[in-house]
Amino acid sequence: MDETFFDLNCPHKLALLADFHNSEPAPVLASLQKNKPELITVAGDFVFGDRPKDGMLKIEENRNAVELLRGCASIAPTFVSVGNHEYSLIDADLKVVRSTGVTFLDNQWTKFEDMVIGGLSSAFFTSYKTFRANRPGKELYPKPDKSVRSKSIPPDMAWLDEFEKQSGYKVLMCHHPEYFPRYLKQRKIDIILSGHCHGGQWRFYSPFHHEMRGVYAPGQGLFPALTSGVYENRLVVSRGLSNTTFIPRINNPTEVIYIRG
């Protein structure tokens, strides 16, 4: 696992975690304890998998994720936003998440000293929540239909208008980097923290771009543009903390990102 450092105009030392996917928390927590960030951001996909087995809460299948969040909260104030893998979490799951001591932000913002921190939820999470509320019956985790999974559904951005008006350095956790050119590029937000791409899975040097580039990313397809590092001095994309497929990561170590002023 890499420790990647970026010097941006951030008033506090910040750690970015993404795509943990219920993996092993010990290396991540050791890095955080060593580097002592002033705050920790978890930009989605801390859990892994689809709907849980019958009779279980989704969060019960993700005990490592709970351990990670609890460990993060013991190190520094920790803020968590929603990725696509969190789509099925119900109120009982989220009660456990909040019990770890983190601040959970579902299309919401909060203040931390001279910063304003927001969490833009994955559109999949938002659309599934509506789907479940409108579905008859008492099934906790109903199977989503194709319309819920549609990639054309935009995230809920109405709350961002008020977020932008706040005074202070604005940090937005947004799991999907592909949202940046579509919805966020023109917004007055100082820094946007993303993941989702797993670095493009395989990374190779591109003679056309004169840099390492990923091969594939969900939401961007083949040869994606936004997979790792800093773009336009304000979109930060993590390569993530796990591998969720049988396809190995090549030239693509996992990472914890640290952002300094």
Q: What is the mean pLDDT of residues 64-70?
A: 98
- Is residue 148 within 8 A of residue 131, CB to CB? The reply is yes
Total domains in the chain come to 1
Average pLDDT, the chain: 95
Specify the pLDDT at position 148.
Answer: 87
As given in the structure block, the two tokens for residue 173 are: 């956790």
How far, in Å, CA of 84 to CA of 45, rounded? 7
Closest CA to 171 of 103, 97, 85, 73: 103
**pTM for this entry:** 0.95
H or E, element range at 145:
none
The confidence score (pLDDT) of residue 137 equals 76
CB neighbours (10 Å) of residue 164?
15
**Which range of residues forms the domain containing residue 102?**
2-260
Instruction: Residue 203: give its domain's CATH number.
Output: 3.60.21
Instruction: Report how far residue 79's alpha carbon sits from residue 41's, in angstroms, rounded to the nearest whole number.
Output: 5
Q: pLDDT tens digit string along 12-58?
A: 999 999 999 999 999 999 999 999 999 999 999 999 988 887 778 99
| pLDDT for the residue numbered 225 | 94
Q: So what's the pLDDT on residue 168? A: 95
Q: Which tokens is 9 given?
A: 């105009």
Segment 191-208 mean pLDDT: 94
| Of 23-32, 95-104, 210-219, the least confident | 210-219
Q: What's the CA gap between 147 and 124, in Å, rounded?
A: 10
Closest CA to 217 of 192, 180, 172: 180
How far apart are the C-alpha atoms of 220 and 88, rounded to whole Å?
Answer: 23
- 3-state secondary structure (DSSP) of residue 73: helix
Over the stretch 145-167, which tens digit does the pLDDT of each residue have? 888 888 889 999 999 999 999 99
> Residue written as tokens 């952002």?
259
Mean pLDDT, residues 96-105: 98
